[in-house]
């Protein structure tokens, strides 16, 4: 492929840009570009590199002469992959880069829920000493339900196992047998997992099949004492239903890194006292960003050599 003009329309780690520069590509870095401007200039570029902010839908694709769209991250739900492929555009991502970062955040959020860490911190900053109210739980011996046992789900499972948790897994494909043997994971259908787990963590992509896979009926299957952690995509849980089950005490609590709309429209959900929120920081570590940017740049160079 004889192409060279690259536009980067979201903030990415510089390592990837250095690799592209070294390989003779001309890179325009516009991490704050507005959609109107992107639509005007996109025709001049062969390669578009994005993270989550830029939505690469039909309008952008139709205005372009792109050969490659690259996402410095895992999920591709901000790109119309089907349409891009119909137009002969290659779509590249960095599947492996965020595994440890997201998994470690999940464990942090789970401990945060179990021990009321955010509540403890807020109360102390307000000059209170509410020790008696802060009787928490150990994770050891509890059942962790993992929905989507892929790269991140497995990493979470391995760390949770080391903390003495028992694992229950659900996936649409057969779960890696070696992993099941290694961790003694109980494999189950979705309803069985929801009814039995003390903590439930979601690691599925957002697709037509997974959108609102946890609706009110499914959430109502959970134990009243159970917690849910979502670091996958906001759309996999029906947020309005989640708000009601949390508010009515039908489940114990939730930790959310992702939202149906970001920043979240559903501010009542964020404000509930049994909810911990983070602003989509699953992959927001120095290591994950550097790795994602490097992987994507190397995949682009590889593609150009084909």
In the complex, the smallest distance separating the C-beta of residue 225 from ligand NAD, rounded to whole angstroms, is 24
What is the rounded distance in angstroms from the CA atom of residue 57 to the CA atom of residue 298? 24
205 phi and psi, to 5 degrees? -75, 160
Helices (H), the chain: 14-22, 35-41, 58-62, 81-86, 99-115, 117-125, 151-162, 177-183, 190-196, 216-219, 239-247, 267-271, 286-305
Which residues have CB under 8 Å from 215's CB, separation 6+? 238, 241
If the CB atoms of residues 142 and 203 are measured against ligand NAD, the closer one turns out to be 203
Residue 10 touching ligand NAD (CB under 6 A): no
Name which position in 102, 222, 237, 246 contacts ligand NAD (CB under 6 A). 102
170 phi and psi, to 5 degrees? -135, 135
Residue 209 touching ligand NAD (CB under 6 A): yes
Known active-site residue 51: no
Residue 144 touching ligand NAD (CB under 6 A): no
Instruction: Identify which range of 106-114, 245-253, 264-272, 278-286 contacts ligand NAD by CB under 6 A.
Output: 278-286
Residues in the chain, overall count = 306
Torsion, Cα of 239, 118, 150, 185 (10° steps): -110
Known active-site residue 287: no
What is the rounded distance in angstroms from the CA atom of residue 94 to the CA atom of residue 18? 17
Residue 145 touching ligand NAD (CB under 6 A): no
Known active-site residue 233: yes
If the CB atoms of residues 67 and 280 are measured against ligand NAD, the closer one turns out to be 280
User: Which is it for the CA torsion 29, 31, 35, 37, positive or negative?
Assistant: negative
If the CB atoms of residues 64 and 78 are measured against ligand NAD, the closer one turns out to be 78
Residue 183 touching ligand NAD (CB under 6 A): no
Residue 13 touching ligand NAD (CB under 6 A): no
Residue numbers annotated as active site: 233, 262, 280
Which residues contact ligand NAD (rule: CB under 6 A)? 74-75, 95, 98, 102, 147-153, 170-173, 203-206, 209-210, 231-233, 257-258, 280, 282-283
């Amino acid at each position: 492929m004889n192409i060279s003009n690259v536009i980067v329309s979201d903030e990415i780690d510089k390592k990837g840009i250095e690799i592209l520069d070294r390989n003779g590509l001309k890179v325009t870095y516009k991490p704050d570009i507005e959609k109107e401007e992107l639509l005007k200039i996109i025709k001049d570029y062969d390669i578009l590199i994005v993270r989550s902010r830029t939505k690469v839908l039909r309008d952008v694709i139709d205005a372009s002469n792109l050969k490659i769209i690259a996402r410095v991250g895992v999920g591709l739900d901000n790109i119309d992959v089907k349409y891009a492929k119909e137009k002969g555009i290659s779509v590249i991502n960095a599947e492996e880069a965020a595994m440890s970062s997201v998994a470690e955040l999940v464990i942090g959020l789970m401990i945060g829920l179990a021990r009321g860490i955010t509540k403890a911190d807020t109360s102390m900053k307000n000059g209170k000493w509410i020790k008696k109210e802060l009787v928490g739980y150990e994770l050891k011996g509890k059942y962790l339900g993992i929905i989507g046992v892929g790269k991140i789900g497995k990493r979470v499972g391995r760390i949770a196992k080391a903390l003495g948790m028992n694992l229950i897994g659900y996936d649409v494909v057969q779960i890696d047998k070696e992993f099941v043997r290694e961790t003694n994971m109980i494999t189950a259908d979705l309803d069985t997992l929801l009814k039995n787990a003390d903590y439930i963590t979601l690691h599925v992509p957002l697709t037509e099949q997974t959108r609102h896979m946890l609706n009110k009926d499914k959430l109502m299957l959970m134990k009243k004492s159970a917690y849910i952690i979502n670091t996958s995509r906001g759309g996999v849980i029906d947020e309005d239903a989640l708000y009601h089950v949390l508010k009515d005490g039908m489940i114990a609590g939730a930790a959310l890194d992702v939202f149906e709309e970001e920043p979240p429209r559903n501010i009542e959900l964020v404000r509930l006292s049994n909810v911990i929120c983070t602003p989509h920081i699953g992959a927001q570590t120095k290591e994950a960003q550097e790795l994602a940017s490097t992987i994507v740049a190397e995949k682009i160079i590889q593609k150009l050599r084909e």
